[in-house]
Structure 1
């Protein structure tokens, strides 16, 4: 078997990087208080809401998001695959490496670490990623040919296995020589049970230097007292790494498990208690000499200050030309997510395993039994897209890999209840802005969830519908004013009828205590109510237009949201005005009067609400919803129709300048706003009447493309948010207007495609994709990049808007 044959299951369109190759000048963070872990990021492992682990292209496990909504970047050298190889009749060929190219600064001094390119080797292998799969292809070091495919069981419309806390590693080994080769593969893992919970129970919220609210998070990292490791065997063999807990399972209580399958012709070795912060000799000596472990079983719990780890290894001999496949699995079972002290939820996967926190072995057995089926189902989901010859490989790569955020976006997925039969779901806006499902951001970023997991998407919108009537009169400081050196005013957290910006933060009570962000007073925002209505109708229409119950469950919230927004129409012209404070998704950018962005969303939302009202009117007799009545429905539809009739000509009259739509009606700015016609994009997407004449939309799009993209640093970075028609900045010191927002660019590209400007859409998209994946931003895509190589707000939700491009391309 040729090495190319071993790689035949690796698609051509993966993101690829030589193992261990660094970056000469990766993007760095723009704001010092924002997260910047550096460029060593790879595809995450783990199910939605189960916690996840990241492994980089140098081979280290380094991202730990095991506690819901929290992020730790810390390479753990003892958590590692290692390979021993001995070629018969060639005693000098015996070698063993831990498969990470970065040796730890201290500890495990006796281990030999895998060489990267340049260390006496021209090429040592390639890392490939196409979410939820990634591969390490090892070359130029071992005599045998080795690949390791790693994945979690995630595929579209899978509401069970996609929640599992598991990573699968399928090794394929081939002997291309004319002599037998003995190989041993070891998986070692440190017992980190109990580490992933907040040791700080303070509910205090502070304002950071960038005006964002933050709270203290202090994990129990390194607290291993009482942890023990236990060997388990059946037709599989594994090591459970746990700690005894009380009858009531708390956050952080549970287990890890590493496991593999017994096979004929394979020897299995183990060591259940070795020192992961020592020299490593206790397991490396025997492994490097013969590929074995001492088969030590020791369940003695760790004492205070002690760290312990476990390891399993399999050894086998390949005859010339022989190939073998070996599965390993890593599982974890931490069933409880706790928000504020005492506010606890069980994770979704506990609907399929019990809630004792003692199921890591059961999950491992399930994975070893089912991993081949999981592989097939992932391939069956991805293959139709991979087979589309009109999609460029770079687009396929980014399309799948941007889904990483469904796993590592601090994702929550709760267990099912009678009210929520598949649980509740939420993704953070980002790690820096640690609150869930920001409604303005998900207007763009939720297309992936909509297309692939529509029931989860509807669950999120139901949560917003429940939150709109609620109020919270607690007054708090508004952080934006700190950033401009002004006195910070107080504002109520949530006004009844106002659409919340987000569904809350991990330190309070997600889904129930909303509007966490205090950077701006979101009760005054002019886009959120429209965003809500448009997403509700979109989720109904693009999932088959049959779920009228979903529309009915959101109707009262729609009415309240639009009525509340209409109160900001101070001059009675039918369109709510922006206040001059940043009061929309561009929350550092002042809009005054009628704005192209918010005004267009308002018009599209009225059209959507009218369409929803008519659907409900035709179904009211069969819905049996007490709050729905024919008379009130018709009156509301008539009201929205009158608002729309009054608003549409005002929008055109006040904002159209013959070439593009002005930023707003009152500031006098001549800036070309890249996202000025988001409302028109949504109207066409939802097959609603245009809110502006098509020729005006086309003219505006051409102007945007020219001014914001081509004339901005010769089109090298993407479209800036707002520039003058000649491509120059209105204010060289502005923040949001001069940033390239990844998700806004993908949304703009979807609009270009919608308007049959395909070449322009692809050029813009490819430019942004290249900036992300060539400059160390992969698997941590930021909200914004700049022309000077900086970024802001990594792990950002809006970037999944690339799925809007796909949806428009293939008409959903």
Structure 2
């Protein structure tokens, strides 16, 4: 918390005055340059734009939402067909891509919502059992900004700064998942195309063109690399800049309307949020006035317990603020629109007694050529998140900075470390959060720019990759609604008798399922490992605490290889591991990924105490992996897929590509794990005999790797022990690339490594879209003249090599980084060029092809013949784009302040 709770309350008691009936003149710091509101901004302001919008920002015509792709080969829910339930996932397009999504607002773990390309508030993800960790496709029709101008003697013009929502339909009927509603019917909306929507996370900008006044809106949350407090806050800033380009005086006013809304709607169990109330407060010291909309009833469910919203503004000299604490949010909106339309002001009184919605308005007079900036903020205090039919309740991370405390010593009755201490959080903190946010606005904005400018404005990174890297970060806040600030209670017994995260003080768990669409490894140790660089550099405490919990889970599990946390009750219930023997385990990449990430975190941050704390778990995972090696071999064996099987065994993250015996991907990770253990063991003073045994195992396994996988005729490492034929995998060198990044010995023969990369790039990248753009690199390739795969799984009797020939977005980013790093190592400009081309190709398909609908909903993979055939939006693997950036220009150099 910025100030201790007791003194904060004393300040509030002194500062909270009577309800203001008129504008209070307040001194504020002079506004900085029009481009940013702070110095050091990236980009330049355009004519008609009040803010500097950097070149890599995604840009779309405001309110014109594409229809979205819908190929006959995939699920026809995109054409209006009824959902076929779980079978949708097997058809590759569930949930479907959604055009028109935008920047999410809200801190990590605080709950969040998007400002979509129609300018409305939605979709939503406040998480927990009520929405199953899949965002809810809804908007708040009552939430909007409204603008009124009266230029000279002309009549006043009033518009709501939003456009009608898309009404998507196919030949079979309406497509609800690609549609959202409009703001309230009594409001006069903008037309699609009357503005430009720009996005580069965490910032969004909308420039409106329907007025004589230049009107621009900037919105963002204070996501600050390397810092928990601001990054976790439930804060959405809205800065409105107004410039009078006419030769007459302009009277202007901006109104912000907001309903007293629940965070979750339509889920099971249903959210109960009763006892609505509203009030206005002004802190005369800071000059902040806010309307708070709350809910407090004993029958409320945990996700709504003592919850509230605050809309607030801090008027500057020459600005006047008015408000209403209640209008009918269930009506058509005419009651709050009329006074604003008539005068640009609100009456400083209730319009009804429902407390269902509130509003604030700020007025100003602009001389010709004059400009003003009006800072608004929306904050919320939904302090709890619940799972397992409300049987497990957590505090959110931001509450720790506003009073919530956790146990700091082992105490069985308190559930070990990191249990919430009852009564420590005062609740009803949304105004305090809003007051702090506006008081610290410029400082917070500078803190965001301190790391963001280094990426957004770094010309060493291609523009397309800056677009992808920054916008891809949106999912850390939007897709991951649980970053906990202490366990409140759980009526569900932990799987192992004690919950992960309760053994080390100061641990705050973060729930990161691969995607609610498929896969739920919330430990981040499957596809999430491709984004380890993003977490390591930007959210290091999340990475550390997640790895702490993984280490605890490993030590609790009978076999040292815990399965997925339960999506219905994460970090309380987990799948138990099974006894490791060769040929009987699936996903054998996970232990090695967990292990190397522990070493990587320690190395990147110089946190060798952390390494020592997780080292017992690392040894246990190494033993698990070694148990997968046959006595007469030196590499692990995964569970094979029998020929003609209806469903494949899942050897690793490429779960439907058959692995027969040993495979190059898992074997490379096994070598990486051994190399890490040798390095970590030597640093931590491990017994010499143990380190020697690991080193010998590494040497033998590396020799066997070359013998088993190198295909001299094709000059590549074959993917697996095919009984006939050969095929090569794009991600062959995942482990080798990580080893290079961690300063470990080569896992493969460097000459062969370079030969495969150099000779076979064109084999992976032959596919183009209808405009001739590279679609990206496919996952696997065959020898010249060969069309039959040497091994192919059969899913539900349909032989279709989807994963073999699909373009995996995150794999392209990671493989692109591999090419870039190898190019630097071997002084090979062609390899570096190929790495950038591969990564830029998928960035183009995701962020530049509007009709795909992939922006802010990046798919796991799409087809090489047609990007409309895609699978699993919102997977974490695409965060690998940060590894691509690191391979171009080291993040340790670019982001030194964030990397500590």
TM-score range, shorter chain: 0.7 to 0.9
Alignment map for 1:537-686 (pairs within 5 Å)? 537-543=599-605, 546-580=606-640, 581-617=649-685, 630=686, 633-658=687-712, 659-686=715-742
Q: 1:796 to 1:324 in 2, by over 3 A?
A: same
Q: For 2:337, what is the secondary structure of its paired residue? A: helix
After TM superposition, give the deviation of residue 96 of structure 1 in Å. Answer: 2.4
Aligned counterpart for 2:834 among listed residues 756, 760, 774: 760
Q: For 2:776, what is the secondary structure of its paired residue? A: coil
Q: 2:433 — aligned with what?
A: 363
The superposition leaves residues 93-141 of structure 1 with CA deviations (integer Å, 9 ceiling, x where unpaired) of 6332342343986883221111112xxxxxx2211111111111112x1
Segments of 4+ moved more than 6 angstroms: 712-715
Q: For 2:261, what is the secondary structure of its paired residue? A: coil
Alignment map for 1:337-486 (pairs within 5 Å)? 337-340=385-388, 341-354=390-403, 355-415=425-485, 419-421=504-506, 423-433=508-518, 434-471=520-557
After TM superposition, give the deviation of residue 150 of structure 1 in Å. Answer: 0.7
Q: For 1:332, what is the secondary structure of its paired residue? A: strand
How far apart, in 2, do the equivalents of 1:148 and 1:514 lie?
Answer: 47
Q: 1:61 — aligned with what?
A: 121
Q: 1:467 to 1:699 in 2, by over 3 A?
A: same
Q: 1:150 — aligned with what?
A: 219
Runs (5+) with no aligned partner, structure 1: 118-123, 201-218, 303-307, 472-495, 618-629
How far apart, in 2, do the equivalents of 1:522 and 1:512 lie?
Answer: 23
Q: For 1:189, what is the secondary structure of its paired residue? A: strand
Aligned residues of 2:395 and 2:484 also touching (Cα < 8 A): yes
How far apart, in 2, do the equivalents of 1:346 and 1:729 lie?
Answer: 54
After TM superposition, give the deviation of residue 247 of structure 1 in Å. Answer: 11
Greater CA drift, 363-372 or 676-685? 676-685
Q: 1:173 — aligned with what?
A: 242
After TM superposition, give the deviation of residue 685 of structure 1 in Å. Answer: 1.7
Aligned residues of 1:712 and 1:728 also touching (Cα < 8 A): no
Q: 1:684 to 1:113 in 2, by over 3 A?
A: same
Q: For 2:711, what is the secondary structure of its paired residue? A: coil
After TM superposition, give the deviation of residue 469 of structure 1 in Å. Answer: 2.7
After TM superposition, give the deviation of residue 174 of structure 1 in Å. Answer: 0.3
How far apart, in 2, do the equivalents of 1:418 and 1:319 lie?
Answer: 62
- 1:112 is the counterpart of 2:177: no
Aligned residues: 735
Greater CA drift, 638-647 or 325-334? 638-647
Aligned residues of 2:514 and 2:526 also touching (Cα < 8 A): no
Q: 1:319 — aligned with what?
A: 367
After TM superposition, give the deviation of residue 692 of structure 1 in Å. Answer: 1.3
How far apart, in 2, do the equivalents of 1:522 and 1:183 lie?
Answer: 70
How far apart, in 1, do the equivalents of 2:206 and 2:768 lie?
Answer: 38
User: TM-score if structure 2 supplies the norm length?
Assistant: 0.77
After TM superposition, give the deviation of residue 177 of structure 1 in Å. Answer: 0.4
Runs (5+) with no aligned partner, structure 2: 1-33, 35-44, 76-86, 167-179, 404-424, 487-501, 641-648, 793-798, 824-830, 893-900
How far apart, in 2, do the equivalents of 1:527 and 1:274 lie?
Answer: 56
Aligned residues of 1:230 and 1:298 also touching (Cα < 8 A): no
After TM superposition, give the deviation of residue 634 of structure 1 in Å. Answer: 2.3
Q: 1:192 — aligned with what?
A: 261
Greater CA drift, 360-369 or 569-578? 569-578
Greater CA drift, 748-757 or 12-21? 12-21
Q: 1:781 — aligned with what?
A: 858
How far apart, in 1, do the equivalents of 2:53 and 2:584 lie?
Answer: 46
The superposition leaves residues 45-68 of structure 1 with CA deviations (integer Å, 9 ceiling, x where unpaired) of 111111111111220111211134
Aligned residues of 1:343 and 1:509 also touching (Cα < 8 A): no
- 1:19 is the counterpart of 2:62: yes
- 1:793 is the counterpart of 2:793: no
After TM superposition, give the deviation of residue 772 of structure 1 in Å. Answer: 0.4
Aligned counterpart for 2:282 among listed residues 233, 241, 244: 233
Aligned counterpart for 2:845 among listed residues 771, 774, 777: 771
After TM superposition, give the deviation of residue 359 of structure 1 in Å. Answer: 0.5
Aligned residues of 1:672 and 1:707 also touching (Cα < 8 A): no
After TM superposition, give the deviation of residue 299 of structure 1 in Å. Answer: 7.9
Aligned residues of 1:674 and 1:708 also touching (Cα < 8 A): yes
Aligned residues of 1:153 and 1:164 also touching (Cα < 8 A): yes
CA RMSD of aligned residues (A): 2.7
- 1:260 is the counterpart of 2:330: no
After TM superposition, give the deviation of residue 800 of structure 1 in Å. Answer: 0.6
Q: 1:533 to 1:196 in 2, by over 3 A?
A: same
The superposition leaves residues 777-799 of structure 1 with CA deviations (integer Å, 9 ceiling, x where unpaired) of 11111211223213222221111
Q: 1:350 to 1:745 in 2, by over 3 A?
A: same
How far apart, in 1, do the equivalents of 2:532 and 2:874 lie?
Answer: 14
- 1:513 is the counterpart of 2:559: no
Q: 1:186 to 1:564 in 2, by over 3 A?
A: same
How far apart, in 2, do the equivalents of 1:651 and 1:295 lie?
Answer: 75
Aligned residues of 2:97 and 2:853 also touching (Cα < 8 A): no
Q: 1:107 to 1:44 in 2, by over 3 A?
A: closer
Greater CA drift, 763-772 or 562-571? 562-571
How far apart, in 2, do the equivalents of 1:522 and 1:152 lie?
Answer: 47
Q: 1:488 — aligned with what?
A: none
